[in-house]
Chains A and B, each alone.
Chain A
């Protein structure tokens, strides 16, 4: 089955700087790649997703890029703010497959 890995496991950034989290996946047939954010003690929530037919997607301060050849995708957060501090999970699946494979999560800490 699909195997998703996230790097780095923990990332500390100064407020206002950019943060980048990278995920790699194993199944070249996967074509849907969402990112979920989980604040301390809260539920995971979808923040952005991308399909394999596009290389980049943006939503305000966050963006996701996909490199199908290298089988990796990345989350970019610009102008980081304290409320961006959270655990971020990437995931991958094949269209029509009922199973999302999640990575183990990245802890992002924004230092004021």
Chain B
């Protein structure tokens, strides 16, 4: 498996609190992504990064922000958590050689519950 670590693995928080999820990679891959997975919706892209300090929005970016200050770390922040953000969050990385979307490698996921 590609070297991807997500932390925390599980988190329970209250509505209105800020939450930060961390994705750490040891593969030196250029591209990093945050997805959320919800029943009936599959995998939806929140934000992605194509290099240090280079990020862009995905299809469900409202209420989320990201930062990438180092190649190996990609942080996802829920600025003020809501119950609708209860989900499983997956980080993914891609080498970005040739077709940039090829061969996504996913982390183990973070189960977030917002009460």
12 CB < 8 A contacts A-B: A32-B101, A44-B43, A45-B106, A49-B102, A89-B43, A96-B100, A97-B100, A99-B59, A100-B45, A100-B104, A102-B42, A104-B41
Q: Is the CB of B48 within 8 A of A98?
A: yes
Q: Is the CB of B59 within 8 A of A98?
A: no
Residues of B within 8 Å of A97, CB to CB, are 100-101
Q: Is the CB of B99 within 8 A of A96?
A: yes
For the residues of B in contact with A, the DSSP-based class is loop
Top 10 closest pairs, chain A to chain B, by CB: A104-B42, A43-B106, A102-B43, A93-B101, A100-B101, A102-B42, A105-B42, A95-B99, A44-B106, A98-B100
Q: How large is the interface on B (under 10, 10 to 19, 20 to 34, 35 or more residues)?
A: 20 to 34
Q: How large is the interface on A (under 10, 10 to 19, 20 to 34, 35 or more residues)?
A: 20 to 34
13 more contacts with CB within 8 A, not counting A36-B104, A46-B103, A98-B31, are: A32-B101, A34-B103, A43-B107, A43-B108, A43-B109, A46-B104, A93-B101, A98-B100, A99-B59, A100-B101, A102-B44, A104-B41, A104-B42
Chain B positions within 8 Å of A, measured between CB atoms, are 31, 40-45, 48, 50, 56, 58-59, 90, 99-109
Cα distance A100–B33 in the bound complex, in angstroms = 10
Q: Is the CB of A99 within 8 A of B99?
A: no
Cα distance A36–B8 in the bound complex, in angstroms = 24
Chain A positions within 8 Å of B, measured between CB atoms, are 1, 32, 34, 36, 42-46, 49, 89, 93, 95-100, 102-105
In the complex, what's the smallest C-beta–C-beta distance from A105 to chain B, in angstroms? 5
